[in-house]
Amino acid sequence: MTEGWERRRFLAALSLAGVGSVAGCQNLGNDTRSTDSGQDTPTERPTATPSETDAETPTGTPPNTPVQIEFQVETPGESDSGRISLPPIWEADDTIDSYQVAVTVPGTVSGEQVQQLQLRTDESVLREIEVDNDAEVTVSVNPAQLNAGENRISVSGVTEDDTQIQSDPVGIAKQTPETHLVNWVHEKNEDLRDEAKNQYGEDYFEEQVGQTEITDSPVLNQYDTPDGVEHYDKEIDLAAWEWHHDNDYPYQGDGGVAGNPQEAIDFVESIGPLEEAENRAREAMENPRTNQYPNNNVQNDGDGTISGDKGEFNYDKFSNADTLSEALDWLHPYLFEFQLRYPGPGPRSDEDQMYAAVLQKGIDDHTDIESQFWEVNLPEAPASTHGNGLAYDKTNNEMLLVESHDTPVTNNDTFHPRIEESDYLDMEHSASDEWYHPLRFADEYRSEEREVAEGFNEIGFGVAKKYAASVLRSVATGWSDSIQSEQNPEPGRGLFNDINVSVTNDYIIDLTDKIRFWNNYEETDSDTFEKIKSHSKMLNEMVSDKDENYVIGGTVDNPWTIEGVERATVNQIWGDKNGQFDDAKAILETEAA
């Protein structure tokens, strides 16, 4: 990256005026001298008096003045002499050696052999220099040893006869790129953990997170930067972000559209055997009004009516289910029946954030199935959405769509079909004309005309892209997420409006393609999902950092993050229909220009 060195030579005449002898380099004998004073100007020495010596000091001459030493500095670059400019992105063949400062010092000063030398800044000693009295010695300074901005380096030490030597300070500027690629590193975030404790209560937080730290993740230390160059590192506490997700069910719904966290609590606490159920819970389990349990014997009479027993909730079959889909066959209709009897409007699609929370909690508490639920909104127009959700069965590596209404516009025979079987994603079904599912983004963008959200005139490319990005963001955000509610009046419906993060087309294409066809791809598995979940945490970490602007790009398996872009660039990327910002270097070049 640097094809040459620009040599800088800093010369200083020997400052021996008034010492009495040009070659003598006077030494008053009994002075104690420090070679690590931390100062770049000489320390005053005691002045000898007639009672201490037979010789008088000439008037106005500071005794024991240090000898000035000449040294040379070479900085990398052809024209930026005296300046180190670190790159915005480290290439595979880049090394820290290309950005080091070379300092050359002599072995003698004014005919005297140098015995000890230190290279230092105003703040600290950079290194001890092993002197060669027969030749010059060149040592290097790693950019990591210098502060961003201006640095003053100097050389100090003593000669063989204990005369102090000192150089004038030389300025070296270290430029760190404001816009650069990010390397994510683990760091415990006590502020975020305290925020969780204050919001949810310390006991609940300790139960969910405690002192857990996630230090091994495919998103950490993914970008190879030289050791000690910390400017590119961005810290994240992946474990602390666990509390920002939808299974924090007791606290969801507080002040939003759903607005009734007690309903969520009552439902979760009602889950159990039929014989133990009481009041509305027993009615919902035993006498379903509109929904059916798997043990039903309902028949279609052919004239639009059905007859027969709708079945009843079977806790044993639910709790011993092998798959998430089988467990939801029991729990999902029970939720709808419970809501029909609970004070309020009953099942409604704008409570998708509550559905994700309570279904997650019910599965976690009563089965051995590992899963993750999160909300996804399906727009008809920017201000009109149909609540929906996704659920990942980690135990069986299966992705499901989750309905939030007991009378959806689809004809699926279940409220939680495999994602690829959903009518919302069937372009031949009328449900796909009524509501735009964000997982359509990849297929539509890859079409010849790149017609995204065609037929939804009030949505368009940019809005559709933001809904698709919200699929990622919602994985690790919950209803009570103060960050999301700060940006949007309805938490969980974040459209990245007036926000400091953007996502490139390439990443959204890969994300939506993987989730939509999850059950058809061999390479998508629980490890893939953990990457997506971690990326969601990264995204929310960036949203919380209001002082910087960011871009996420790449793919699920090979993502990248850029920090320090202009807000105008963030907005431009949302509307980047032609994909000109899909390349990280293109963004860095745009910012540099």
Structure tokens at 108: 């003698």
C-alpha atoms less than 13 angstroms from C-alpha of 478 in its C-beta half-sphere: 24
Could you give the C-alpha distances from 254 to 201, 319, 335, 415, in angstroms and in order? 15, 29, 19, 26
Query: Residues 335-369: pLDDT tens digits?
Result: 999 988 988 776 765 565 678 888 988 999 999 99
DSSP annotation of 435 reads S
137-141 and 101-105 beta bridge pairing:
antiparallel
Of 431, 451, 432, residue with least CA distance to 441: 451
What is the identity of the amino acid at 198?
A: N
Task: Say what angle helices 460-473 and 526-544 make with each other, to 10 degrees.
Answer: 110
Between residues 93 and 162, which one has the greater pLDDT? 162
Of 361, 146, 413, residue with least CA distance to 252: 361
- pLDDT at position 527 over 50: yes
Q: In the sheet where 137-141 sits, what is the strand order? A: 5-10, 71-76, 101-105, 137-141
Reported confidence tier of residue 333, pLDDT bands at 50, 70, 90: very high
The whole-chain average pLDDT of the chain stands at 80
Q: What is the greatest pairwise CA distance in the chain?
A: 128
Between residues 300 and 59, which one has the greater pLDDT? 300
Which 3-state string (H, E, C) describes 250-304?
Answer: HHCCCCCCCCCHHHHHHHHHHCCCHHHCCHHHHHHHHCCCCCCCCCCCCEECCCC
Reported confidence tier of residue 381, pLDDT bands at 50, 70, 90: low
What does the pLDDT read at residue 520? Answer: 97
CB atoms near residue 409 (< 10 Å):
15
Least trusted range by pLDDT, from 304-308, 387-391, 426-430, 556-560: 304-308
Share of the chain above pLDDT 70, in %: 78
Least trusted range by pLDDT, from 12-26, 145-159, 194-208, 325-339: 12-26
What does the pLDDT read at residue 591? Answer: 82
Torsion of Cα atoms, 230 then 232 then 237 then 243, to 10°:
160
Which H/E stretch holds residue 14? none
DSSP code per residue over 207-240: HHTTT------TTTT-S---TT-GGGEEEE-TTG
Which residues are CB-neighbours of 34 under 8 A, at least 6 positions away?
Answer: 43
Structure tokens at 245: 């997700």
What does the pLDDT read at residue 14? Answer: 27
Angle at 570 between CA 215 and CA 377, to 5 degrees: 75
What does the pLDDT read at residue 120? Answer: 92
First to last CA, the chain: 19
What is the spatial distance between Cα 304 and Cα 69, in angstroms, rounded to a whole number? 101
Query: Residues 93-145: pLDDT tens digits?
Result: 778 888 889 999 998 888 889 888 999 999 899 999 998 988 999 999 988 88
What does the pLDDT read at residue 558? Answer: 92
Of 581, 530, 576, residue with least CA distance to 556: 530
C-alpha atoms less than 13 angstroms from C-alpha of 367 in its C-beta half-sphere: 27
CB 186 within 8 A of CB 220: yes
What is the spatial distance between Cα 386 and Cα 379, in angstroms, rounded to a whole number? 6
Query: Residues 257-299: pLDDT tens digits?
Result: 344 577 888 899 999 999 999 999 999 999 998 889 999 988 7
Domain ranges in the chain? Answer: 70-76+90-176, 178-228+546-592, 315-476
Reported confidence tier of residue 30, pLDDT bands at 50, 70, 90: very low
What is the spatial distance between Cα 552 and Cα 71, in angstroms, rounded to a whole number? 46
Query: Residues 394-419: pLDDT tens digits?
Result: 999 999 999 887 778 887 788 999 99
